[in-house]
Amino acid sequence: MKSSLSNDPLPADFAEAFDAARARLPPLGHRVLFFNRTSSTNDLALMLAADVDAEGTVVVADEQTSGRGRQGRVWHSPPQRGLYVSIVLRPSRARTGGERATGLLTLAAGLALAEAVEEVTGLPPGIKWPNDLLIGRRKVAGILAESASSDLAHIVLGYGINVGAGKFPPDVDARATSLESELGRAVSRATLCAATVAAIAQRYRDLLDGQFDAILDAWRARSPSSRDARVTWSTPAGPQSGITDGIDERGALLVRVGERIERIVGGEVTWL
């Protein structure tokens, strides 16, 4: 059964960009739903995820009224300024290591977004564990993966990219940037949207095929901060601090604390 949503027509420039990228999209992009204004693309994608043919569905919005990031943060989502996208995925169906593929999904997506941004703009974003894209020290994109079911059968992968130049809310202005601010010229959101879905499709195929080392190696090359950076995080015993020592084969952040190595799989990490 296919869920229905009252979506808006896909703008002509987006339709042309997706048509041009068609050969690179499978298994994603067979269904692209566009909304001029919605609460959250992740919310819409979660509504669709129960459909048997939902995998690969792409939800795009020009504006979000309740966009969100990790830890319940608000994602600033004004019209015509950003790229707000969610994709329904099923990494658990990987040929081998379905659980591992699911665990590496966010890292694979971050890598794909960095590759797509560089392809379209020439800017080489860095990646900060687990899900931020940086230009210099400022955040340009973020990722939020949410499960559509308790068994993790379907995952909704949402991402936002700051494209257009302009002011950010005061609480993030000092640490955020946009592609156009960095380049000093316009960037086609349509071209970038199709490129990001195509790049995620490639890395998603890698996950499904068990090409985990290829993803991890490429991710490490784009994340210098995953080594030798000082971080702090909270534990039930109180705050901890240490020096990053890379990521392991399942994507957990490794941190040296004295003579021991701590493995961080989630939660909030502060980079000093």
163 plus 252 within the same structural domain:
no
29 plus 160 within the same structural domain:
yes
119 plus 152 within the same structural domain:
yes
pLDDT tens figures, 65-82: 977 766 567 767 789 899
Q: Is the pLDDT of residue 233 over 50?
A: yes
Alpha carbons 62 and 99: distance in angstroms, whole number: 33
Alpha carbons 126 and 141: distance in angstroms, whole number: 10
Q: What CATH number did the domain enclosing 19 receive? A: 3.30.930.10
249 plus 189 within the same structural domain:
no
Report pLDDT for 72: 61
The residues, any chain, with a CB within 8 Å of residue 162's CB and separated by 6 or more, are 76, 81, 82, 139, 140, 141, 168, 176, 177, 178, 179
* Structural domain range at position 253: 224-271
Average pLDDT over residues 123-149: 92
Q: What CATH number did the domain enclosing 240 receive? A: 2.30.30.100
For the question of whether the overall pTM of this predicted structure is more than 0.85, the answer is: yes
> Which of the residue ranges 56-70, 90-104, 206-220, 257-271 has the most confident prediction, judged by mean pLDDT?
206-220
117 plus 213 within the same structural domain:
yes
In a domain, 2, yes or no: no
In a domain, 237, yes or no: yes
